[in-house]
Amino acid sequence: MNNFHTKICGVRSIGSAFAATEGAASYIGFNFVTSSKRLIQADEAKTIVKAIKDNYLPSNRPTTVGVFANQPLLYVNSVAEYCELDMVQLSGDEPFAFAEKVSYPVIKAIKVDTSESRESELKRLDQLAKLAEKLNVLVILDKYDTHLQGGTGQTHDWHLAAELAKHHLFFLSGGLNLQNVEEAVLSVRQFGIDVASGIETDGKDDASKISEFLSRAQIASTKVDL
């Protein structure tokens, strides 16, 4: 698969950030959602971003992303500026009009509602993906959960995702791990993948799992002919 992208999210340590960088992750995400167990303080994220810049050439650095959900625009822009991030990810219920006001390139989470029929849900996702493309917004496809924001850690309908991938580019997110990443890449054939819970041990980001996940994802991507 050409131009396959990997995103390691929920990074909270320099060791994990370096493992992601050395494993050629395309993006690394820092979670600023206050209700998230992966919450990182701005000072900590800023320190990690600086460490990456001090130790790796620009051509070898991942794109740094701040993850937010239903938080004030001023806060989103201020944190991104303070931490010197490259992008902002909106993982809440923010409308696309909100995304247009963010001062940074945007990734928008679109949630798959598996309680709906596949046909109607595919139509809805297709419309949202078209709108995102019109606004030059990247998409992360995650599972809908009324109780969780900023990543659910749950898989959703990969058959539906595969249908959407025929016409749109997106990151597949939700419940990916070392055991299912190859299946996900081969079955959905998407732009990229996003992982957080799948590279954790006892709730903490694990540098060794990050390295292994990236290796398996990249090997799987070479088997896909688009």
Reduce the secondary structure of 170-221 to three states and give it as a string.
Answer: CEECCCCCCCCHHHHHHHHCCCEEEECHHHEECCEECHHHHHHHHHHHHHHH
Helix H or strand E segment including 131: helix 118-134
User: Side chain identity at 28, as an amino acid letter?
Assistant: I
Question: How many C-beta atoms surround the C-beta of residue 114 within 10 A?
Answer: 14
pLDDT for 74: 98
Report the predicted TM-score, pTM, of the whole model to 2 decimal places. Answer: 0.91
- What's the full length of the chain, in residues? 226
- Average confidence (pLDDT) per 10 residues, the chain, 226 residues: 85 98 97 95 98 96 97 98 98 95 97 83 94 96 60 67 92 92 88 94 96 95 76
> Residues 21, 59: contact at Cβ < 8 Å?
no
Tokens (6 digits) for 132:
């995102």
* Nearest C-alpha neighbor of 191 from the set 207, 213, 159, 167: 167
pLDDT for 1: 46
pLDDT for 188: 85
Q: How far is C-alpha 165 from the geometric centre of its chain's CA atoms? A: 16
